[in-house]
Amino acid sequence: MPPRRHAFALLAVFAAGIAHAGDAEPPARLQVKIGDARAVVETGKVAEVVVDGKPLKVLIEELPTRRFDAAGLRFDYPRNFSWEHDDETWTLDGSNAVVIITRGLLGGDAMAADVLDGIEDEIGAKTRGKREKVVLETSKGRIEGVAATVRVASTAIRNEAYVVGPGVRPVILLLQDTLDDAGRLSTEFTDMRRRLAATLEF
């Protein structure tokens, strides 16, 4: 074994044998201002801030969600989802699940089924996937949509399309999930969908 590769092998063995305290991602560091006092704190840890000569204990805890607030929609989604914004389309992307929010045409009559047709046309599907009715039960009422599964190469992707809210610019909400080999929804998708329905405002 070359000396350099031998050194890397020894390093790997050494690293495997040490404690795993550094495996977790370091906590976020935030600056807190109370009155004129400032302090740098780490999430999940108690810090002390002196205000008017009196020490105050501060604990900041990071929630597992972020709050989407655009295009007339507001809802919670997992904070680990990446964020993309292009013109009037927002994409929240997880490991399996994806949320896409976009505005329809001004004065247009958006239909959930048309969204699914557009997806199939874009990927060049030879036949339409079977449509099924789906429902989001929200605090603002029931939102009916349409779902279908498309196959891209060997991957099955489920799409749920909804048109949300009144107005001259309809808002299209698309929920996507990559199904497993048995055609089941991912846990990430079901958890995301449940949280979205419970917190959706429009």
Tens digit of pLDDT at every position of the chain (202 positions): 554 444 444 444 444 444 455 567 788 888 888 888 888 888 888 888 888 888 888 888 889 999 999 999 999 999 999 999 998 999 999 999 999 999 876 444 568 888 899 988 888 887 888 999 999 999 889 999 999 999 888 889 999 999 987 666 789 999 999 999 999 999 999 999 999 999 999 8
- Whole-angstrom CA distances from 34 to 24, 46, 58, 132, 137 are 30, 15, 10, 53, 40
Q: What pLDDT shows up at residue 167? A: 61
Give the dihedral of Cα atoms 191, 116, 124, 85; nearest 10 deg. -60
pLDDT at residue 65, rounded to an integer: 96
Q: Pairing between strand 155-164 and 171-178?
A: antiparallel
- pLDDT value, residue 76: 98
Hey, what long-range contacts does 25-30 have (CB within 8 A, 24 or more apart)?
27/62, 28/62, 30/60
Q: CATH 3.40.1000.10: does it fit domain 65-199? A: yes
Q: How far apart are the first and last CA of the chain?
A: 64
Rounded-to-integer distance, Cα 116 and Cα 139, Å? 26
Residue for token digits 């959706």? 200
For the chain, give every domain's residue range: 3-59, 65-199
Please report the pLDDT score of residue 12 as a whole number.
Answer: 46
